[in-house]
Chain A
Amino acid sequence: MLTILIDGIAYGMLLFVMASGLAVTLGLMNFVNLAHGAFAMLGGYVTALAMNRLGLPFLATLPLAFLASAALGAIAERTLYVWLYRRSHLDQVLFSIALVFMSMAAADWLVGSQQQLITLPAWLQGRLEIAGVAIGRYRLFLILVCAALVVALQLILARTRFGARLRAAVDNQRVARGLGINVSAIFAATFAVGSGLAGLGGALGIELLGLDPSFPLKILVYVMIVVTIGGTSSLTGPFIAALIIGVADVAGKYYLPELGAFLIYLMMIVLLVLRPQGLIASGR
């Protein structure tokens, strides 16, 4: 059932884009930001409103969704989150979950509670037959975009000066500061990029997941599962985890509808029993 597999991969890729930002903040910066989904929702609304009210084409709204979420992420990091880095995880959880509820109420008040619907360009609708396998065009598009993002992220982290500084700042903040690395600026930039990725994920996800003010809570569970199973020491772990979850969720609902939504929780338990540190854990 290749169609099921591809549906699952597309779904998993989407989960990864939304979760990657959280993997960065949680894993690299050791900060629990449950409000991650709120940034994803913002990206979704930017795309939906830009398409429906301003008439912009779908592709043009994607960078907007990224930039808007990244900008808000940067502002929130400088004004709100910066005070919480040194606080306990419980404080961080309480603070960020409150942000989630505030963002939901704000979305409801500003835009209304109804589902936001978008119309994709014609070349993204319908499906293709490749070697006898029917693939939704939009799902193929998702896989390509997300795969490109994964490669780009990995290259930035592993090959660029910024990536090297970020890794240094994460491994040992004091030494990094001593070497003249501006740790707080690097963290702010990273947080902004993470929020931007969430926003992009939200924009790409409207077509598959729908968009309404309850969006942050709806995806929170999935995103948390991806990060928990994947481990937080690299991006490879969450990436593999997202693919496993995506495929398992879709295949589970197809082959075992009775288990349906429960299957991914079962998988999470099994994987965490086998590898409590996550799929790919560092020796730290």
Chain B
Amino acid sequence: MKRRVFLGTAMASAAAFSLSARGVMAAAKPFEIGLILPMTGPFASTGRQIEAAVRLYIAQNGDEVAGRKIEIVLRDDASVADATKRHAQELIVREKVEALAGFGLTPLALATAPLSAQAKIPQIVMAAATSSITEASPFIIRTSYTTPQVTAKIAEWASGDGVRKAVTLVSDYGPGIDAEKTFIKTFGEAGGQVVESLRVPLANPDFAPFLQKVADQKPDAIFVFVPSGVGAPFMKQFVERGLNTSGIKLLADGGVTDDDILDSMGDPALVAITGFHYSAGHDSALNKEFVKAFGAANNGSRPNFMAVGGYDGMHALYTGLEATKGDSTGQALIEAIKGKAWESPRGPISIDPNTRDIVQNVYMRRVERIEGKLWNVEFQTFDAVKDPGKAG
């Protein structure tokens, strides 16, 4: 008898529990975001920065928006486009995710674009920076930056600063060539002249012959675009050759003085004048809080431009979902995010309603040693810059 009572109550309570659980689930099916990043391989630092920022955003803003629980499904594509596409497919079909995010490099974002278009779900590009990406699918929204967006402003600043004769030196791959073309065009229109365009093979980091060529040309400035890990050896060799004291300005895309590794670059980094959309040294209360929280959650490391792209990507999804009151159909979400403007750790930004690309400030910075550590210190701001590749 006793036993039967016990069983009965147990069953009843189990039933009640499962009922209530089902009730909660029906009220709020979780909003799953498939986050595809290079977590291993040569671009693993990109993946780590973005993942850390995404988790930080969720920790700071709660994991519930408009009654929907936010869940992240992380996949590692090791920066191989085939793997990105396969993961995206699995995430859409099997995991039923309602948004895709991440994408460390241009080919990875492009490989996924047809899938986001077909499945009609938002694809948030948090890192890849080729201008054309947002045109590849009407469901792409970008929260990183574009190479021409930054490079055009560096060229503009250079000609305003009295640079007449410049040499470009870029790594021989897509983004490098993008940067080279943009610089030559913008600098030329501003009345400057690019006397030599050097392309350095990606696999060979000894810059000796190229730098010697620069030294012999004696330009007013050299514009550099190389992947972030290569920036440090480049600057060392620039200094080794004595170019820093020869009156040749070193202008570069901010990837060269990547906040992630800037402090370990040492004094040679002090020669660089860079243009970029984010510096961990950006002087705003929001950014100070962001840098502090990021460091506290990640062993004292600094957020870089990748991290801020991931952070703002999450913000875009959160505000979109809030605006649609939990309606997660792709069309509704994209419409809700278009034209949104907010304050990011990098400064004021917005999503261009026509191109779905990010509009943001571009800052000119120089490297300075502050309390023993190296930082990118901003000294001039170009307000609300659109991607020039699509602005016209």
**A residues touching B (Cβ–Cβ < 8 Å)?**
1, 3-4, 7, 11, 52, 108, 112-115, 117, 119, 125-127, 134, 136-138, 207-210, 212-214, 218, 249-254, 257, 260-261
Contacts and interface: CB of A to CB of B under 8 A. Distances in A.
A112 B40 CA distance: 9
B45 A114 contact: yes
Contacts of A214: 42
Contact of B261 (A3, A115, A127, A254): A115
B240 A125 contact: yes
B240 A127 contact: yes
B204 A261 contact: yes
A249 to B, nearest CB: 8
Contacts of A210: 205, 229-230, 232-233
A252 B213 CA distance: 12
B160 interface: no
B240 A112 contact: no
Given A117-B261, A210-B233, A108 B44 contact: yes
The interface residues of chain B, by DSSP majority, are classed as helix
Interface string B228-269: 011011001001111000000000000000001100111000
B352 to A, nearest CB: 33
B203 interface: yes
A121 B291 CA distance: 32
Given A7-B212, A11-B206, A114-B261, A260 B45 contact: no
B256 to A, nearest CB: 12
B229 to A, nearest CB: 4
A261 B172 CA distance: 11
23 contacts: A4-B212, A108-B41, A112-B45, A114-B260, A117-B265, A117-B266, A125-B240, A126-B239, A126-B242, A127-B240, A134-B241, A136-B241, A210-B205, A210-B230, A210-B232, A249-B204, A250-B206, A252-B209, A254-B210, A254-B213, A260-B199, A260-B201, A261-B201
B208 interface: yes
Given A52-B264, A113-B40, A261-B203, A254 B209 contact: yes
A250 B209 contact: yes
B247 to A, nearest CB: 16
Contact of A3 (B198, B212, B230, B232): B212
Contacts of B236: 207
A119 B266 contact: yes
B241 A253 contact: no
Nearest to A14: B206
Interface residues of B, number: 32
Nearest to B242: A127
Contact of A117 (B41, B205, B242, B264): B264
B205 A209 contact: yes
A124 to B, nearest CB: 9
A7 B42 contact: no
Contacts of A208: 205-206, 233
Nearest to A209: B205
A1 B212 CA distance: 10
B203 A250 contact: no
Nearest to A218: B203
B222 to A, nearest CB: 15
Interface in B31-54: 40-45
B232 A115 contact: yes
Contacts of A7: 208-209, 212
B240 A136 contact: yes
Nearest to A52: B264
Contacts of A261: 201, 203-204
A126 B241 CA distance: 7
Nearest to B198: A257
A4 B209 contact: yes
A7 B260 CA distance: 31
A207 B233 CA distance: 7
Most central of B42, B44, B206, B210 by chain A CB within 10 Å: B206
Contact of A209 (B201, B206, B260): B206
Contacts of B205: 208-210
Contacts of A137: 240
B199 A257 contact: yes
Given A249-B204, A254-B213, 9 more contacts: A7-B208, A125-B239, A134-B242, A207-B233, A207-B236, A209-B206, A214-B42, A252-B209, A261-B201
Contacts of A209: 205-206, 233
Interface string B218-232: 000000000001101
Interface in B4-45: 40-45
Contact of A113 (B44, B210, B213): B44
Nearest to A122: B267
A1 B209 CA distance: 11
A214 B230 CA distance: 13
A134 B266 CA distance: 23
A125 B40 CA distance: 34
A96 to B, nearest CB: 21
Nearest to A120: B236
Most central of B45, B240, B265 by chain A CB within 10 Å: B240
Nearest to B39: A113
Nearest to A137: B240
Nearest to B240: A136
Contacts of B209: 4, 7, 250-254
A254 B233 CA distance: 18
Nearest to A261: B201
A126 B199 contact: no
